[in-house]
A = this chain, B = another copy of it.
């Protein structure tokens, strides 16, 4: 039964996957080429471009999609114009090296793609399948089913409402958007599975298993193409994980380390809630009608410019940046945080071979702890502020880095407390601070977005599943704490925008 459903729109799903993989890859390519030389110019260009072409392209896009999927009609959010603005703005924003992510915008871009493609496909199917009335009926039923499935929290009223929300396209609209979300996340990191689960958790309350299948198919195809492109371009040898880790497999962690993982989870819960709070306060401050904000609203380019200037000054590598590994681009940052070394042990001594970019964390005069702590504190407010800039920007990646740094900090502390490792069964196992970093990253993103699928995304990103149980424990704890304190980042933005 799923195949008959699939059969109808597999072309659609393949096209969607293909388009998004191409977009994702070429954006990565372009933003890597821009070399982060002129952050201010790039950010201001992004802001100006978005403002002129389509103001709807500003921000993450996930809150808006969540609203659309709940049945509210938001105009101009799924047009080709928004697509262009988002792609160009995001490329410039990423290239600037600011702490902005590509995940949220990608969800938006993929959804636009899906909406546009389905309109395009409906022309063809209109020509070829006009005679069959069956499909129409089926789709009506399907659209109603899906609408019910998403709007169900309201209970009884939903069905009546949903009957009025008939889809104008031969494909269920919400179906398409959900699949679009999955593709967006999936091809952004090359994590098809985590993408599907994350988009389900983030956007919907009830969910059709049919869409799980569709999302899985399209996201796999997309992630596959995305990775094949980088193989062809000789960036990678073969298809492997994006931030591959290489922890020992035989004994990844000991049961006695579990309390530390639990502490990471709980702290990340508090930090995540605080991040959401801080982000909202910044937005609310900018909304308050003071002389300053009136001035900034008039001269739209000044706010992003000023924020970029401040952040760039702080991270300037020869200046203050040397105390917080400012020279690293976000990707290098994650790779180095996930590495296999124990920094507290190698600082002071000559760098071992294969250290690579991780050497940025080792300041000749300042302790590793101070560098990591400074990094966490500085990046915390930087991420919270820079995601409020009027450019396409996601919060997932910055929060991911924050979490990784925090986890690494705990890991290094553990490695100092137990310098000889943990004794178990006669054999001494050393502590892997990189594993703590992975767990911290998953827990922090989970706390900010209120999802547990971030654990899956982490496995797919690192290519190692050895830390699965502590990671799931940490993510669940982080979620419990964060959900008790604050709404998710996306819900918070929805509330503020109302």
Contact = CB atoms under 8 A, between A and B. Distances in A.
Given A216-B472, A472-B216, A152 B145 contact: yes
A484 interface: yes
Interface residues of A, number: 71
B469 A223 contact: yes
Contacts of A460: 465, 468
Contacts of A476: 216-217, 220
B238 A253 contact: yes
Interface in A245-265: 246, 249-255
A238 B254 contact: yes
Contacts of A472: 192-193, 216, 220
A463 interface: yes
Nearest to A253: B238
Contacts of A149: 149, 152, 206
Contacts of A239: 253, 255, 469
A103 B158 CA distance: 37
A425 B223 CA distance: 23
A156 B159 contact: yes
| Best-buried of A148, A241, A424, A468 by chain B (most CB within 10 Å) | A468
B208 A205 contact: yes
A2 B450 contact: yes
Contacts of A12: none
Interface stretch (A77-85, A224-232, A405-413): A224-232
Given A220-B469, A484-B3, A145 B206 contact: yes
B424 A469 contact: no
Interface in A307-348: none
Task: For the complex of A and B, list the 9 residue pairs with the smallest distance between their C-beta atoms, beginning with the closest.
Answer: A3-B483, A220-B472, A465-B465, A149-B206, A3-B484, A159-B159, A216-B452, A145-B152, A206-B208
Given A220-B473, A239-B253, 18 more contacts: A3-B479, A3-B483, A3-B484, A149-B206, A192-B468, A193-B456, A193-B468, A206-B206, A212-B452, A216-B452, A227-B469, A231-B255, A237-B250, A238-B251, A238-B252, A239-B255, A240-B252, A459-B459
